[in-house]
A and B are shown apart, each in its own frame.
Chain A
Amino acid sequence: MSSEVSTKESTPANGTNEALIKKTLDEDDQFEDFPIDTWPDSETVKAAGLADNLWEENWDDVDVDDDFTANLKQELENHKQQQ
Chain B
Amino acid sequence: MEQVNIDHYFDTKTWDSQFIKFLTFPLGKRNRDDNLIFVLNKIKDNRILELYNVTMELKNIYLPGYDKSKNLKRRGRKKVTNTNNPPAQEKIIESIENQIRLMIRLMERDDTMTWLIYPLYSLARQLYGFINIECNHETAYMERCIRNIHKCLTMCLNDRNPNERENKRCCVLYFINLEFKIYKQLGNRDMIKNLIKVYESRGDIQTTTKNKKYPVGKAQLVTFHYYMGLYYGCYENDHLRGITNLKLALAQCSIKFSNQIKHILKLLIPLQLLVNGEIINPDYVTRFNINGMMPRYYHTLILLITQGKISEYNEAINNNIPLQAFILKDETFVIWQLLIHRVQINYVKNKWRQLSEKSVMPMTELSDVNECQLSNLISLNLLKGYLSHSHQCLVLSKKDPFP
Contact = CB atoms under 8 A, between A and B. Distances in A.
Contacts of B227: 31
B389 to A, nearest CB: 28
Could you say which interface size class chain A belongs to? Answer: 35 or more
Given A24-B326, A50-B288, A69-B299, A34 B315 contact: no
B312 A31 contact: no
B222 to A, nearest CB: 7
A51 B251 contact: yes
Interface in B146-201: 181, 184-185
Could you say which interface size class chain B belongs to? Answer: 35 or more
B278 A44 contact: no
A3 to B, nearest CB: 9
B222 A25 contact: no
Contacts of A45: 250-255, 261, 288
Interface in A52-80: 53-60, 62, 64, 66-69, 72-73, 75-76, 79
A9 B318 CA distance: 12
B255 A30 contact: no
B279 A55 contact: yes
Given A38-B217, A55-B272, A76 B315 contact: yes
A25 B325 contact: yes
Contact of A6 (B256, B306, B316, B319): B319
B293 interface: yes
Interface in B261-308: 261, 263, 272, 276-282, 284, 287-288, 292-293, 296-297, 299-300, 302-303, 306
B32 to A, nearest CB: 20
Nearest to B288: A50
Interface in B211-249: 215, 217-220, 222-223, 226-227, 247
A9 B319 contact: yes
A29 B329 contact: yes
Interface of A: 2, 5-6, 9-10, 17, 20-21, 23-25, 27-34, 36-39, 43-46, 48, 50-51, 53-60, 62, 64, 66-69, 72-73, 75-76, 79
